[in-house]
Amino acid sequence: MSARIRRAKKGDEKILAQMELACVLGTWRESSYASELDNVLSVYVIAEIDESPVGFAGDWCVAEEAQIMRVGVIPDCRKQGIGKQLIDALMDDARQKGCVTMTLEVKSQNAAAIALYERCGFQRVGKRSSYYADGSDALLMTSELIHDKKEESK
């Protein structure tokens, strides 16, 4: 299933916080997302089906590296390619900003997320032991952002 991907804007903090809860991602609240949407380094995108939000993702672009901060798809809409659409949108945005790599951390037990990231071209490059509050390890993953050949020749 294909979703419409749009860039999050000021006023979307409530939607993002609601999806955070629905996706059981963690503890970010509306105020967290308000700060993210005000941050010139961050970009958040929202996936919608029939104008209803079904997923979101966000990253920070600093110098030549983009760091994925959040990715979530509501449970009823998982395994439909929406997560990949969201990651692809972030990768495209990061490329346009001149980033050459994208990184992320993911719970080592989250097989579905790891499989998604690997489908998007990420490779495992390290581990952070006991990184999460529950004591879980984080896998570090990275992807090279290949730029269009025309851009490289300039």
User: Measured between alpha carbons, how far is 136 from 107 in angstroms, rounded to an integer?
Assistant: 7
Q: Which of 13, 20, 36, 105 is catalytic?
A: 105
- Note if 117 is an active site residue: yes
Distance CA 126, CA 145 (A): 19
The conformation of residue 147, written as its DSSP 8-state character, comes to: P
Question: What whole-number distance in Å separates Cα of residue 138 and Cα of residue 154?
Answer: 38
**What is the four-CA torsion angle of 8, 9, 13, 18, rounded to 10 degrees?**
-30
**Beta carbons within 8 Å of 127's beta carbon, 6+ residues apart:** 108, 137, 138, 139, 140
Tokens of 152: 């490289």
**Catalytic status, residue 105:** yes
Name the catalytic one among 30, 65, 117, 151.
Answer: 117
Catalytic residues: 105, 117
